[in-house]
Amino acid sequence: MCKPFVNGSSLEDLLVTDRPTLKNGLPIFAYDVNDFCLAVGIGKTKVYEMIKDGRLKSGILEGKRIIPVEEALRLVDSALDREH
């Protein structure tokens, strides 16, 4: 059994969720800025603005900015909620 990983969930839980996957079936845990823009449909300027304002969580890994997949899902969900 996997030990708690993020917010009390286990790595096993994270692997079996409905997250995007690569062509080889491996789950995607984070996007770089370019892929995030493609996935969500917004531009780089807006992404960096949202990061700066604290509306979008991101981090640096090996010198590259990454954005968790959950942030893309949260952003799209919040946009859909505002439309109703």
Query: Is 83 a residue whose pLDDT tops 60?
Result: yes
> Is residue 15 included in any domain, yes or no?
no
> Is residue 78 included in any domain, yes or no?
yes
> Is residue 77 included in any domain, yes or no?
yes
Query: Is 3 a residue whose pLDDT tops 80?
Result: no
> Is residue 11 included in any domain, yes or no?
no
> Is residue 16 included in any domain, yes or no?
no
pLDDT given at position 17:
58
> Is residue 53 included in any domain, yes or no?
yes
Mean pLDDT of 49-58: 96
- Using CA atoms, how far apart are residues 58 and 65, in angstroms rounded to an integer? 7
Q: H or E stretch including 59?
A: strand 59-61
Structural domain tally of the chain?
A: 1
> Is residue 12 included in any domain, yes or no?
no
- Can you give the pTM of this predicted structure? 0.72
Residue ranges making up the domain that contains 58: 21-83
In tens, the pLDDT along 7-53 reads 555 555 555 556 788 788 888 899 999 999 999 999 999 999 999 99
DSSP state of 31: E
pLDDT given at position 50:
97
